[in-house]
């Protein structure tokens, strides 16, 4: 069941709104609890959002901890690395907690779960915000339709059994994503319209299993959906 849906004329407008939402949520969390913990995704869609956040500079603060929803099993210098994307756009002021993509995937997942347990204490870890993307097949983070990782209930972080684009991935699991206080999903482009429709209809895709998602869409991804004005 989705929360709010907002539709934008351009990726630029969507990105401005997403960056403002992240900054506001981080500010509110710091005010309420002294610290903000967010988890970010990779992919093409959030790049501009991250550039705007980097220019604003508010996330370069030890009281803001930046984690990842997922990572490809590549070194942090690889152009497919989500850490590399975030470091190049938002920047890493020593507050970015990366998944070690260069390590053996199952070991990297275990180590990241141990890090989350250390930072959050007893579970489930309540991120202040998770920023998610959406695949045309309905995947979110690295939870792909039909994969065993989607059914995981106990572990917080797992490695995918399958490789995607030649590399396995490490991903937060649905219970962790669902436990976040704010869940924002970005989708742009007509290729995403069927997956967006499935999420809005409460369908069977991994993304559709998350409750209370805030969706920021461009007009092409929204397809025939109309946001209430």
Q: For ligand 6PG, which is the closer residue by CB, 32 or 204?
A: 204
Nearer to ligand 6PG, 44 or 226 (CB): 44
With 0-12 / 13-18 / 19 or more C-beta atoms within 10 angstroms meaning exposed / middle / buried, residue 166 is exposed
CB of 74 to ligand 6PG, least distance (A): 11
Residue 189, CB half-sphere, CA atoms under 13 Å: how many? 9
Q: State the nearest-atom distance from the C-beta of 205 to ligand 6PG, in Å.
A: 12
The minimum distance between CB 196 and ligand 6PG, in angstroms, equals 12
Looking at beta carbons only, is 82 or 173 nearer to ligand 6PG?
Answer: 82
Site residues, ligand 6PG (CB under 6 A): 41-45, 69-70, 82, 133-135, 139-141
Residue nearest to ligand 6PG (CB): 133
The residue (of 54 and 135) whose beta carbon lies closer to ligand 6PG is 135
Q: Which residues are 186's β-sheet partners? A: 216
Cβ-count burial 192-229 (b if 16+ within 10 Å, e if not): bbebbbbbbeeeebbbbbbeebbbbbbbbbbbeeeeee
140 versus 182: smaller Cβ distance to ligand 6PG: 140
Q: Cβ 228 to ligand 6PG, closest distance in Å?
A: 25
The DSSP-derived string for 160-171 is: -SS-BTTB-EEE
> CB of 121: closest distance to ligand 6PG in angstroms?
26
């Amino acid at each position: 069941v989705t929360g709010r849906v907002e539709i934008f004329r351009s990726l630029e407008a969507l990105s401005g709104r997403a960056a403002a939402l992240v900054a506001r949520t981080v500010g509110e969390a710091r005010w309420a609890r002294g610290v903000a913990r967010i988890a970010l995704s990779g992919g093409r869609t959030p790049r501009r959002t991250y550039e705007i956040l980097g220019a604003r500079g508010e996330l370069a603060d030890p009281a803001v901890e930046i984690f990842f929803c997922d990572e490809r099993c590549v070194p942090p210098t690889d152009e497919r690395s989500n850490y590399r994307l975030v470091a190049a756009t938002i920047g890493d002021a020593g507050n970015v907690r990366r998944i070690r993509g260069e390590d053996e995937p199952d070991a990297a997942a275990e180590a990241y779960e141990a890090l989350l347990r250390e930072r959050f204490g007893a579970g489930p870890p309540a991120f202040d915000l998770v920023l998610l993307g959406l695949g045309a097949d309905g995947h979110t983070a690295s939870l792909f339709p039909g994969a065993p990782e989607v059914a995981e209930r106990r572990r917080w972080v797992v490695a995918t059994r399958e490789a995607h684009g030649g590399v396995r991935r490490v991903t937060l699991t649905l219970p962790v994503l669902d436990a976040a206080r704010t869940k924002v999903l970005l989708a742009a482009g007509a290729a995403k319209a069927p997956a967006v429709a499935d999420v809005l209809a409460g369908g069977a895709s991994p993304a559709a299993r998350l409750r209370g998602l805030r969706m920021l869409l461009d007009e092409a991804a929204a397809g025939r959906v109309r946001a209430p004005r």
